[in-house]
A and B are shown apart, each in its own frame.
Chain A
Amino acid sequence: MTESINDKANELTIEALPENLTAVTEFVDGCLESVDCPLKIQLQIDVALEEIFINIAHYAYQPGKGPATVRVDVSDEPITVTITFIDQGVPYDPLAKDDPDITLPADEREIGGLGIFMTKKLMDDVVYEYKDGSNILRLVKKLH
Chain B
Amino acid sequence: MADLTADIATGSAPGRLTTADGKPLKAALAAAESHARRRAFFLVLPLLLFVLITFIFPIVQMLHQSIYNPGFTLHRDVGTGVKTPIMINVRNWFDENERGSDPDESAYAALHKDFLLLDELRAAGSVGTRINYDMSGTRSLFTKTARRADKLTPPFQEGFLAIDKDWSDPEVWAVMRGASSAYTANFYLAAVDLTRDVKGDVVSVDDNRALYVKLFGRTLFLSLLITFLTFILAFPVAHLLATLPLRYSNLLMIFVLLPFWTSLLVRTTSWMVLLQSQGVINDALVAGSLIEDESRIQMMYNQTGTVIAMTHILLPFMILPLYSVMRTIKPVYVRAARSLGATSWTAFRRIYFPQTVPGIGAGALLVFILAVGYYITPALVGGADGQLISNLIAFHMTNSLNWSLAAALASLLLVGILILYWLYDRLIGIDNLKLG
Mutual binders A and B: no
Residues of B within 8 A of A (CB): none
